[in-house]
Chain A
Amino acid sequence: GNSVTQMEGPVTLSEEAFLTINCTYTATGYPSLFWYVQYPGEGLQLLLKATKADDKGSNKGFEATYRKETTSFHLEKGSVQVSDSAVYFCALSGYGSNDYKLSFGAGTTVTVRA
């Protein structure tokens, strides 16, 4: 079945530091890949997505590239802010049949200090 493995946290950074959160996946076919962000006490918000190999998703300074050869979708941001403190979830949605449900990683808690 489909599964997602992401870097364990927590991750603590200083403002303006570089952030990388690793995400690898196992899936059959051609899944779509997502990064969601959850701020304290809230639901999840879509951060970015990529639907095919070599696609790059980007939003709010975050980027992730769909690498089929390494089955990865690592999240990066060049200069984090305190407001980026949140839990980040990598997820995939299968392709074909009824396998369109989202499978989530365990989440990575990121804290950015001023």
Chain B
Amino acid sequence: AQSVTQLGSHVSVSEGALVLLRCNYSSSVPPYLFWYVQYPNQGLQLLLKYTSAATLVKGINGFEAEFKKSETSFHLTKPSAHMSDAAEYFCAVSERTGGFKTIFGAGTRLFVKA
């Protein structure tokens, strides 16, 4: 069964510092992997997705993620945090053979300090 594990329910960084949010996946077939962001009282917005093309995926707002099959990881990074990046981030996995289900990780709350 497919699943994702996000390491760290809270991450705090200073403005301008590197952002690193960790995600490990479990899937029996090549997965589709995603990072979504959720701002307070809003729905989820796609940041980026991996669909077996390039292993380094660039997304919106300066975020990127690298798919590492050997480590079953899909960590999200941003070189320089901005105050507006403060939000909840969800890693997610989807399989075509899974009945079109997308399963979300528990989420990581990112805090950005001035």
A joins B in a complex = no
Q: Tell me the B residues contacting A by CB distance below 8 Å.
A: none
Q: Tell me the A residues contacting B by CB distance below 8 Å.
A: none
